[in-house]
Structures are given as structure tokens and as C-alpha cells.
Amino acid sequence: MVLSPLDDYPIHQAAQVMRHVATSDRNFYDRYYFNCHAGTDELMLIVGLGQYPNLGVTDAFACVRHQDLHRVVRASRELGVDRLDTEIGPFRVEVIEGLKRLRVVLEPNEHGLSFDLTWEGTIPATLEPRHFVRWQERVVFDSVRLAQTGRWSGTITVGEQELAITPDRWQGTRDRSWGVRPVGEPEPPGIQAKNAGTFYWLYAPMSFGDHAILCVIQEDERGRRVLEAATRVWSDGREEEYLGRPEYRPVYAPGTRDVVEATITFSPPGGKPFDVHCTPVLPVHLMAGTGYGLEPGWKHGMYQGEGPVVQGVTYTLPKDVGRMWGMVDAVGRFEYGGLTGHGLFEYWALGPHPSFPT
């Protein structure tokens, strides 16, 4: 065993050094996710950085949607012994104040996207329910995630244009998740090939100034709930409110599974049901270039060599629209009770589901 700086802190959870996790599952991961936008169709930036201890890899990506541009910078290296070291080529994440303030950096590079941004949460970081899925006897998801809405300050440079990012305009959501989910090079499918392949998903953390609503829904091919959460979280730290079972009714563009609007109904126990109307404002197709699964040569946790290996990928819309399918992370506008808020509207409707005609 090799020690790392974390081992000097009294935080161990197992009879292991901190660089070793308590499961040998190859798919264990530990990841940051951030997005940044102004609640408009001007720009959306998405950033992710993950560690895969049992694969010996750490990687990062940044994806910007700006006008007709979909630009990605991504980097990978061997994880090494120090899990406190988040630097991956030009990327790094710095925790300034745990669960409150973080700095996210992509240094200037040859691929035309860079930034230096500071995040400050506007609600307490909130733990979501455990995500557990077993398919054909194998555990494929077993993870936890915290979510938070917040504001940004700093700069973003796209090509030759530098944008001043100020907290009066620029907001977003972030999450931190860790556990088991499919990552890295594909494995022989075996009996898993019998799975229906459904991924019916909604993730909608939304901010309304003095409070946020955090909503997540996942259903299987029969419409059964795999995961759900619905809470209202207040900026002043008062106790979060459970909003009951959320019901999601998307409207798709004809002939597609692209959501043009949606309604989420919340039914808080002992309270009055209410609807939130959702409108995707600026879609970002998360699976194009970022490592979320479509490209055989670059997936999260895939070994790219000692590194750091740094790449850039640029697509132009609508010319490259054929590449743009799968999970969508959109700037979302959310309206209820006379309030208008913004946040992340993330959805995917893959495979059979009762809401689709057969």
C-alpha cells in the first residue's frame, strides 16, 4: 500500500488507505458536475471531473453551447497516489469552503475554451436518495449524490470572446456523486444483453431565489419508479420540505423524443398539489464529446495512457445535428405560483416506456 496526504486526516471508513475504496467493483467513481448559464439561450457551460480508483484513471471535460457552437475540451491521466490532486492537464477543481464555495479552472489551451470560475451555493448542499439498480442480478447503480443551486463569478473565454461572469446574472447547479455506475471500457455484455435498454429520466434542480426545488425521476420499461425525489430547499437553512411523489408529463416534438415543454406536478403531504411548468431554453447534448457513452474511444474512466492527454472536439449546429442525441442538459425555465426560476432541465427517453406508443 502507498500512503497519500489524505491518510493524515482521521476520516478513514475502512481498513484501507484512503486511495483505496471499500469495494473492488471496477465501476466505482467519484465525480464533480457543474453547469453555468444566465437563464437565457446565450450560453451554457457544463464541466465534469471524475476519479475512478479501481481503473487507475482520472478525467475531466468542459462543454460549451454558444450560438451554433458545441465545443468540448477533455483531458485524462493516470490517477496516481494522491486523490487530493484534481489537476488534469489544464483542468482543476479547488474546494475553497466545503459544501459552499469551489473554484473550477480550465487554463488557456489550443482548443478555444477556457475559464476561471468561482461557485457559491445559494442553498445548503442537499443529499438525494440513494440510487440503486440491479439488472440481471448484477448491481449496476449504487451511488449517492448531493445537489446544490448557486451563483458564479469569474470569466469564460470562447474563441476570441471573453465573457465577464458576475453573480447577478450567472447561475447554475452542481452535484457531487460517488459510488458504482457503468464507466470505462465496455465489458462483455453476457446476460446483461437481455436488458430492455430503457433509461427514462428527468433531473430538474431549479432555483427561485430564496428557495430551490430539487426533482429527480427514473422509471423502467414498465413505468415503475427506480428513483424519485422531490424537495423544496430554502436558502435560509430552514428544514427542507418533502413534496410527495412527482408526476412528469413531457410534450415531445413531433416524431422525436425531444422535449419542447413539460409539467411536473408536486403533491406535498397535507398540502395543496401544484404544477411547475418547464421549458427547455438552450439544449446541450451531453453525450457528444464529453465521455458520457457514445464515442468508443473516449468514455469516462477509459484509460488513455499515462497522460495528461488533452483533446478538443467542436461541432456546429445544425450541420452536425445527427451526432446530437441521447441525454440532454438544457437551461430550463420553471414557472409556478407566479414565480419564475431557472435551473437544469436534464432528460433522456431511451427505449420502451408506457408513455410511448408501441
The string of DSSP codes covering 31-63 is EEEEEEE-SSSSEEEEEEEEEETTTTEEEEEEE
- Cα separation, 244 vs 273, in Å, equals 9
Contact 123, 234 (CB under 8 A): yes
Q: Shortest CA distance to 244 belongs to which of 223, 275, 219, 222?
A: 275
Residue 270: partners with Cβ closer than 8 Å, 6 or more residues away: none
What pLDDT sits at residue 358?
Answer: 56
DSSP-derived secondary structure letter, 112: S
Q: How far apart are the first and last CA of the chain?
A: 54
What pLDDT sits at residue 196?
Answer: 63
- Cα separation, 127 vs 241, in Å, equals 13
What pLDDT sits at residue 302?
Answer: 96
Kindly give the confidence (pLDDT) of every residue in the chain, 358 residues in length, as a single tens digit, with 9 standing for 90 and above: 789 888 999 999 999 998 899 999 999 999 999 999 999 999 999 999 999 999 999 999 999 999 999 999 999 999 999 999 999 999 999 999 999 999 999 999 999 999 999 999 999 999 999 999 998 888 999 999 999 999 999 999 999 999 999 999 999 999 999 999 999 888 888 887 777 678 999 999 999 999 999 999 999 999 999 999 999 999 998 999 999 999 999 999 998 999 999 999 999 999 999 999 999 999 999 999 999 977 899 999 999 999 999 999 999 998 898 888 899 999 999 999 999 999 999 999 999 999 886 5
Helices (H), the chain: none
- Give me the sheet containing 241-242, strands edge to edge: 241-242, 225-234, 211-219, 199-207, 339-350, 328-336, 274-285, 259-266, 247-252
- Cα separation, 307 vs 57, in Å, equals 10
Contact 29, 184 (CB under 8 A): no
| ∠ Cα 53 115 334 (to 5°) | 85
- Cα separation, 91 vs 144, in Å, equals 24
Residue 249: partners with Cβ closer than 8 Å, 6 or more residues away: 262, 263, 264, 265
Contact 3, 141 (CB under 8 A): no
